[in-house]
Amino acid sequence: MKKILGIIGSPRKNGNTHILVSRILEGAQTAGAEVELLFLNDLTIRECDGCHACWNGHECSKRDDMNAVYPKIIESDVLIFGTPVYWYAPTALMKGFIDRFVYFNCPENRAKIKNKSAALAVPFEEDNPETASVLIEFFERCFDYLEMKIVGRIIVPGVTHRGEILRKEDRLEESFLLGKSLV
């Protein structure tokens, strides 16, 4: 059975990112996947300081919740990265999470992430789709580097308030279908 892990980088529960990622996971579940949702704001994930303990076969020296998240990442077939645009970039929560992917940047650990599929879910306020271009390039370059593949993306301009995305039924349907297609 395929495992799909949704990661929410917005601090806002029941916000637009949460709704989008949940809809993708609903689609995946309907198609038979085992799904799990992680709220980064519920976890303690500290900054990577490049000590490289993880490159020497040790547990991350931060000894925080990320040590329990690494196995979830490794066991998943697809990772859904959900973040709103914050100042033309991912949220600090999401950036801090990706910084901890340094773990996968040594030969022993690279094999655990290589070829893993990823999808993006990105809502934001402005109407101009270019608003998300730096954020998308950030993910593309990180995943290229890590030898992962982006298999889907839902980019939703024009949503500001918590849950406003519920009005965009077409984008939610698209998210559901993306989830189904991932399985």
Ligand X SMILES: Cc1cc2nc3c(=O)[nH]c(=O)nc-3n(C[C@H](O)[C@H](O)[C@H](O)COP(=O)(O)O)c2cc1C
Task: Choose, by CB under 6 A, the member of 5, 17, 48, 80 that binds ligand X.
Answer: 17
Binders of ligand X in range 77-106 (CB under 6 A): 84-88
Q: In terms of CB distance, is 178 or 183 closer to ligand X?
A: 178
Signed CA dihedral, 37, 118, 129, 11: sign only: positive
Q: How far apart are CA 9 and CA 2, in angstroms?
A: 23
DSSP state for residue 139 in the 8-state scheme: H
Shortest reach from residue 132's CB to ligand X, in Å: 8
Query: Which of 119, 148, 159, 182: binder of ligand X (CB under 6 A)?
Result: 159
d(CA 159, CA 179): 21
In this complex, which beta carbon is closest to ligand X, that of residue 25 or of residue 159? 159
CA atoms 54, 36, 158, 182: torsion sign: positive
Interface stretch with ligand X, choices 34-42, 110-118, 156-164, 171-179 (CB under 6 A) = 156-164
**Binding segment (CB under 6 A) for ligand X, from list 28-36, 46-54, 137-145, 158-166:** 158-166
CA 12/CA 38 separation, integer angstroms: 13
Q: What is the DSSP letter of 31?
A: T
Identify the bridge partners of residue 154 per DSSP, sorted by sequence position.
121
Q: Exposure string (b/e) for 131-152, b if CB count within 10 Å is 16 or more? A: bbeebbebbeeebeebebeeeb
When asked if residue 16 is in the footprint of ligand X (CB under 6 A), the reply is: yes
The residue with tokens 């600090």 is: 92
Report, in Å, the least distance between residue 57 CB and ligand X: 37
Q: Does 29 bind ligand X (CB under 6 A)?
A: no
Closest residue by beta carbon to ligand X: 15
CB of 107 to ligand X, least distance (A): 36
| Residues at the interface with ligand X (CB under 6 A) | 10, 12, 15-17, 84-88, 123-126, 131, 159-160, 162
